[in-house]
Amino acid sequence: MCVGRGSGEAGHIPGAVNIPVAELDERLEEVPRNRPLIVHCQTGARAAMAASILKARGFNDVRQFSGGFAEWQRAGLPVESA
């Protein structure tokens, strides 16, 4: 799951659900509950907030990709465009 401030124009990790952290509470139905979640954002700060929100809302298996999307890109890993 990709969280951010806007629509994710910079791209995201393939298969990620892109939800701005400010919209997370209103869009929880889009977040799968039946599998582990890895939350990421550009640098990691918003992902920490999103992970906390998800855990507080009953999502049990939530992890944060601590390096953020910037680290993912630097490693040359695949990226999907918005």
Residues recognised as catalytic: 41
CA dist 26 and 73 (Å) reads 29
8 A C-beta contact, residue 33 and residue 1: no
Q: In whole angstroms, how far apart are CA 40 and each of 10, 12, 76, 81?
A: 13, 9, 16, 15
What's the distance, CA 43 to chain centroid?
11
